[in-house]
Amino acid sequence: MATPPPPPPGYTVTVSPPHPNMPTPRPEKRLTPPPFSSPVVSRISPQLSQQDQLPSSSSYTPSIPTPANGIKAASPVPQFSTPPGPPLFSSLPQPVSVPFWTSSSSPQLVPFSSGSSLPTSSPSHYSNGSVELQPEVSDGTKLSMLAGESPYVLFSAHKVLKHKKQANVPSLGFGVLVSSGREISPGPQIIQRDPHRCQNCGAYANLYCNILLGLGQWQCIICRKLNGSEGQYVAPSREDLCNWPELSSPLVDYVQTGSKRPGFIPVSDSRMSAPFFLVIDECLDEAHLQHLQSSLHAFVDSLPPTTRIGIISYGRTVSVYDFSEGSTASADVLPGDKSPSQESLKALIYGTGVYLTPIHASLPVAHTIFSSLRPYKLNLPETLRDRCLGTAVEIALAIIQGPSADISRGVVKRPGGNSRIIVCAGGPNTYGPGSVPHSFNHPNYPYMEKTALKWMENLGREAHRHDTVVDILCAGTCPIRVPVLQPLAKTSGGVLVLHDDFGEAFGVNLQRTSTRAGGCHGLLEIRCSDDILITQVIGPGEEAFSDSHETFKNDTSFSIQMLSVEETQSFSLSMETKADIKSDYVFFQFVFRYSNIYQADISRVITVRLSTVDSVSAYLESVQDQVAAVIVAKRTLLQAKTSSDAIDMRMVIDERVKDIALKFGSQLPKSKLYQFPKELSSLPENLFHLRRGPLLGCIVGHEDERSVLRNLFLNASFDLSLRMVAPRCLMHREGGTFEELPAYDLAMQSDAAVVLDHGTDVFIWLVWFSSLNFII
């Protein structure tokens, strides 16, 4: 009989509110099993709160009893009696992982004291030689045993309707938001051995499995087949099985280091070992260039000394800077009108120049290069200047790959996570491959734009194949043609962000980009009970091919190839029931598999059980309004590709609210009107904010801004998504305090400023009264 490990200490997680789900009419795509909708990845915003910092003392995380399924109910919105601390834009966030929850009420892992023990279930009946199938642990016991639940899986409802016709009402559907969560840290949920998996469908052993104690066999919750455990689950009682993390916690991390170093966290500078290139637009006016130079100087000063960096600038030509010339700014220049030839690339890679170097050896040279940049000299408007951004990224990618890339199965594997190419752009790509004409009035503009989109997408895929992320940070007043550049960022797993200028906010995001933790080779596997069908997936990934992951004999999982693995991302899954559900529970298992920045292969397994009900009122009471609002918003925004689409989607939202009232509300006496169900009281308000806010409303002016916000939202975590849909309204008074108001109460007062926090942007209304008039 295998001896189980000693009982690990538990941990608690306090979760902020989840809420209800609604699918939107007319989904944009339908893929084979479910339609997968992959918006452009966009994860950084200059106005985002300092996610890397601990919650301020004014924040409050309410303690909420955990239901039997382990999922938390909504918590009240924090009330502020003192002003929240402003973002510290002048300081570099520490290179730590960003939690899935990004608000001041972010849940924190709170370990028990080392002397605490996990409560166990009531004694199981065990007799010598018995092979009884032990029933699942009771709900209350599991709750005490868990002490907390993963905040990375948020369902729109905590119960599932048994009747298909009721459950599949399209206006109020069923879905889940799922995120890979935090970077792993040592703890009881870390397992450094191979997992026990069902040999039939591939599901992982978990706390909801039935166990044959005498034989150590476990029954899969997905396909109900029995599987062996190599004797490890043989135990005299169910309590002893709680010593196994996968049988006592809904979330566990399986870690395979593949490294000879002890443990799975190596020396601190290994996370910075992957190189990155700065690709700089040299077609800037003097004012913009000065701001950019200041940001670049501060940026390289903040880098760890072992960071390898390369610098490229581009206009009509591409200048690749050589760090071997001492303190002199020296560059090899290549033409920008076409992709670099193999001969020119070999001359760079095998030549005597040094184009990637540790910053500690070349910091003075980097400063010299930045100082040597000169403003654009020709008397041309910004929109008419030639920029060969595509060629510059091609060259940077070739240098990162180097002469001796270790290629296995077509993927370049490098230590230390993804390499990065950071593009500092002040205008569109208008010269060379992937370019578009200067003017929209060009007779062949639609065809050239379509060609440019395809070229950028292929370049991004090539970068992703070589574990290189392309981040595009744009600034200035020149429209950059976001739809053309987005495929490059999207398919490489990078981010595209707009800024007003190259000043402080740009500089902070530049630093965040270089220190952002992220994994590579990410794969999300989703397994559900047979009664559940995934109908749509929205998020930063694409459907995985069967040869990209291991398969089992009867594996019905849906797999998503993640373009990058970061805590601030989430996937929105819409689901339906295939037929009337007979069982009392349905099960879901989400598995994130990826290689992290410490060269470890991670399999994060999250298992959830939801109860089924016949009563519509019981179902409505379990609906989580805010989660449902976010899922509805993501499905709606997926259709709103243009401003005219956004207008259409406002009417779709109106019709959705009417249909929910008709299907789930009660008819008013002596009237044809229906009352909206009281259990969903906050859902219409959230959808109202979606309708008038920056995502669908007219607050945001330029189409580039709308496009970036849309794609940021489609990939964002729940907390940021919720703020983008339903803002927080704070009134700042002269005494220096903030008073939180309902977001629909925007009444002005002469002694107060109203601050509307929309997650990515903060809108401030000020009122000045004079004897004659007032100005807003």
Query: Per-residue DSSP letters for 576-616?
Result: EESS---SSEEEEEEEEEEE-TTS-EEEEEEEEEEEEES-H
The larger pLDDT score, comparing residue 267 to residue 465, is at: 465
What pLDDT, in 10s, does the model give residues 594-621? 887 777 888 999 999 999 999 999 999 9
Instruction: Give yes or no for residue 285 having a pLDDT over 90.
Output: yes
Mean pLDDT, range 468-481, rounded to an integer: 92
Tell me how far apart the alpha carbons of residues 729 and 685 are, in angstroms, rounded to a whole number.
Answer: 14
SS3 180: coil
Tell me how far apart the alpha carbons of residues 737 and 509 are, in angstroms, rounded to a whole number.
Answer: 29
Residue whose tokens read 């069902």 = 198
175 to 142, 167, 539, 574, 610: CA distances (angstroms): 24, 11, 13, 4, 12
Select from 743, 740, 615 the least CA-distant residue to 679.
Answer: 615
| Residues in CB range of 692: below 8 A, 6 or more apart | 699
Instruction: For residue 312, list its beta bridge partners.
Output: 279, 320
**pLDDT-derived band of residue 120, with 50, 70 and 90 as boundaries?**
very low
SS3 348: helix
Tell me how far apart the alpha carbons of residues 570 and 760 are, in angstroms, rounded to a whole number.
Answer: 16
Instruction: For residue 394, list its beta bridge partners.
Output: none
Tell me how far apart the alpha carbons of residues 601 and 385 are, in angstroms, rounded to a whole number.
Answer: 46
Instruction: Give yes or no for residue 34 having a pLDDT over 90.
Output: no
Tell me how far apart the alpha carbons of residues 773 and 431 are, in angstroms, rounded to a whole number.
Answer: 52
| Residues in CB range of 92: below 8 A, 6 or more apart | 302, 508, 511, 515
Mean pLDDT, range 246-259, rounded to an integer: 84
In this chain, the answer to whether the domains covering 276-402+416-515 and 627-726 adopt an identical fold is: no
**In this structure, what token pair is assigned to residue 391?**
């060629």
Select from 418, 512, 718, 415 the least CA-distant residue to 96.
Answer: 512
pLDDT at 745: 55
CB 467 within 8 A of CB 400: no
Mean pLDDT, range 46-69, rounded to an integer: 37
What pLDDT, in 10s, does the model give residues 294-348? 999 999 999 988 889 999 999 999 999 999 877 778 899 999 999 999 999 998 8
Instruction: Give yes or no for residue 629 having a pLDDT over 80.
Output: yes
**In this structure, what token pair is assigned to residue 503?**
């000043």
The larger pLDDT score, comparing residue 457 to residue 9, is at: 457
**pLDDT-derived band of residue 636, with 50, 70 and 90 as boundaries?**
very high
**pLDDT-derived band of residue 186, with 50, 70 and 90 as boundaries?**
low
The larger pLDDT score, comparing residue 335 to residue 256, is at: 335
Question: What is the residue extent of each domain of the chain?
Answer: 276-402+416-515, 627-726, 729-766
**pLDDT-derived band of residue 54, with 50, 70 and 90 as boundaries?**
very low
Tell me how far apart the alpha carbons of residues 613 and 600 are, in angstroms, rounded to a whole number.
Answer: 42
Instruction: Give yes or no for residue 775 having a pLDDT over 50.
Output: no
pLDDT at 586: 95
Instruction: Give yes or no for residue 269 having a pLDDT over 80.
Output: no
CB 596 within 8 A of CB 623: no
pLDDT at 334: 95
**In this structure, what token pair is assigned to residue 474?**
């744009």
Taking each helix axis as running N to C, give the angle between helix 703-715 and helix 482-492, from 0 to 180 degrees, rounded to the nearest 10: 20
What pLDDT, in 10s, does the model give residues 406-463? 333 333 344 445 789 999 999 999 999 999 999 999 999 999 999 999 999 999 999 9
Mean pLDDT, range 25-38, rounded to an integer: 46
SS3 335: strand
The larger pLDDT score, comparing residue 226 to residue 265, is at: 226
Q: Give the whole-number percent of the chain exceeding pLDDT 70.
A: 71
| Residues in CB range of 197: below 8 A, 6 or more apart | 203, 204, 205, 227, 552
Tell me how far apart the alpha carbons of residues 23 and 660 are, in angstroms, rounded to a whole number.
Answer: 11
The CATH class, in words, for 627-726 is mainly alpha
Tell me how far apart the alpha carbons of residues 241 and 625 are, in angstroms, rounded to a whole number.
Answer: 37
Q: Is 389 left (phi over 0), alpha (psi -120 to 50) or beta?
A: alpha
pLDDT at 132: 38
Please give the CATH superfamily to which domain 276-402+416-515 belongs.
von Willebrand factor, type A domain (3.40.50.410)
CB 491 within 8 A of CB 454: no
pLDDT at 291: 95
Select from 538, 686, 693 the least CA-distant residue to 625.
Answer: 686
Select from 303, 200, 264, 247 the least CA-distant residue to 557.
Answer: 200
- Helices and strands (H and E) in the chain: how many: 16, 37
pLDDT at 517: 64
What pLDDT, in 10s, does the model give residues 528-582? 998 899 999 999 988 887 665 667 888 888 999 998 888 888 999 999 999 999 9
pLDDT at 243: 87
pLDDT at 117: 30
Instruction: Give yes or no for residue 70 having a pLDDT over 90.
Output: no
CB 204 within 8 A of CB 246: yes
CA 500, distance to chain mean position in Å, is 24
Tell me how far apart the alpha carbons of residues 346 and 395 are, in angstroms, rounded to a whole number.
Answer: 11
**In this structure, what token pair is assigned to residue 742?**
């309902």
Tell me how far apart the alpha carbons of residues 189 and 107 are, in angstroms, rounded to a whole number.
Answer: 17
Instruction: For residue 610, list its beta bridge partners.
Output: 586
Tell me how far apart the alpha carbons of residues 188 and 109 are, in angstroms, rounded to a whole number.
Answer: 12
**Averaged confidence pLDDT in the chain:** 76
- Give the DSSP per-residue string, 140-179: HHHHHHHSS--TTEEESBSEEESSHHHHT-GGG-EEEEE-
Select from 224, 227, 221, 222 the least CA-distant residue to 198.
Answer: 227
CA 670, distance to chain mean position in Å, is 49
φ, ψ for residue 272, nearest 5 deg: -100, 10
Maximum mean pLDDT: which of 18-27, 51-60, 260-269, 509-518: 509-518
Tell me how far apart the alpha carbons of residues 446 and 353 are, in angstroms, rounded to a whole number.
Answer: 41
- Give the DSSP per-residue string, 685-701: HHHHHHHHSTTTSSS--
